[in-house]
Homo-oligomer: A and B are copies of this chain.
């Protein structure tokens, strides 16, 4: 079975671990969001790609969900001693090595997709990891307070804790970005496409904003997992992103936002089972089940339910 997954960071990475457990023989391709990417200290940092790579490669700080296990912070402390900014983004020493090597390879002329392949040779994530695009796309946030001011997504998310509210969220560069080599092929060749419980705006939304990807996905059987349980994001501040695009923070509203042209099946938590009757989800097959990814067995069960629904809907 060929499965293609559109992935953000922590939520997607955990879901993918469950998926690998649920479908050990499947050929999984992960199309990773690069809109969160940022250049720090002159080094290119790809938080979502790395979170997936480290998680599937068993190098992740499992408690935290991102960054490396057994991490130290000498480089960061030294940069702070030099007064180098920004200080609000935490990179560990082990993590720095990834960004140093990635930046070196990018500077040597390799596209991000090839660089990601080089990095994955070490991590052997057990899935093919592709950036959504080799072209730079950066999500920027227009703040809703005072005079209009635009900051990088990471500054809003990490430094500001998503406050003030976002008046607009823009994937800068997305309109002229091309899908990375292999992305459209991986979607076309997939038996089914899954949306993990990632941020529907700045993760999966950004991937879908790359011209050609949404149309390719729409042609396939797609099952999504709601990132919203009981009216709140399970993790992160997806509500702040949804508010910016005028979508309610509810499992039903997110499913309706994707829409039946894109999504065929939609998994919601038991808490949200009434979503099945939501008129906005007409034409989408809704299934309710426990959606908290507490541990690997629970996560594998969610992945299995997604797979079963997709197979049923094909």
Q: Which of A94-129 contact B (CB under 8 A)?
A: 94, 96-98, 100-101, 103-104, 107-108, 118-119, 121-122
Neighbouring B residues of A121 by C-beta, 8 Å? 83
Partner of A93, one of B43, B72, B82, B107: B72
Are A79 and B103 within 8 A (Cβ)? no
Bound-state CA distance A103–B98 (Å) is: 16
A118 surroundings in chain B (CB, below 8 A): 82
Render A65-79 as a binary contact track against B, CB cut-off 8 A, 1 for contact. 000000010111111
Chain B residues in 8 Å Cβ range of A92: 74
A104 to B119, CA, bound (A): 22
B122 and A96 within 8 A (CB): no
Interface membership of A24, Cβ < 8 A? no
Name which of A43, A81, A82 has the most chain B CB atoms within 10 A of its CB: A82
Closest Cβ of chain B to A231, distance in Å, is 41
Q: How large is the interface on A (under 10, 10 to 19, 20 to 34, 35 or more residues)?
A: 20 to 34
Interface centre among A76, A77, A96, A119 (most CB of B within 10 A): A96
> Which one of B42, B82, B119 contacts A82 once the chains associate, using CB atoms below 8 Å?
B119
Chain A residues 41-97 with CB under 8 Å of chain B are 41-43, 72, 74-79, 81-84, 92-94, 96-97
Q: In the complex, what distance in Å separates the CA atom of A101 from the CA atom of B84? A: 7
Hey, which chain B residues are within 8 Å of A82, CB to CB?
97-98, 101, 118-119, 122
Collect the chain B residues with CB atoms within 8 Å of residue A103's CB.
42
- Give the distance in Å from the alpha carbon of A136 to the alpha carbon of B42 in the complex: 20
What is the minimal beta-carbon distance from A116 to any residue of chain B, in angstroms? Answer: 12
Q: How far is the CA of A223 from the CA of B77 in the complex (A)?
A: 41
CA distance A118 to B74 in the complex (A): 20
User: How many Å lie between the Cα of A189 and that of B253 in the bound state?
Assistant: 74
| A75 near B104: Cβ-Cβ < 8 Å | no
On whether the beta carbons of B75 and A100 are closer than 8 Å, the reply is yes
Selected contact of A78 from candidates B41, B84, B98, B104, CB within 8 Å: B98
Given A42-B104, A72-B74, A104-B42, does the pair A79, B97 have CB atoms closer than 8 Å? Answer: yes
Listed in ascending order, the chain A residues whose CB lies under 8 Å from chain B are 41-43, 72, 74-79, 81-84, 92-94, 96-98, 100-101, 103-104, 107-108, 118-119, 121-122
A-B contact pairs, 17 of them (CB 8 A): A41-B104, A42-B104, A42-B107, A43-B100, A75-B94, A75-B97, A77-B97, A78-B97, A78-B98, A79-B97, A81-B97, A81-B122, A82-B97, A82-B98, A82-B122, A96-B96, A100-B100
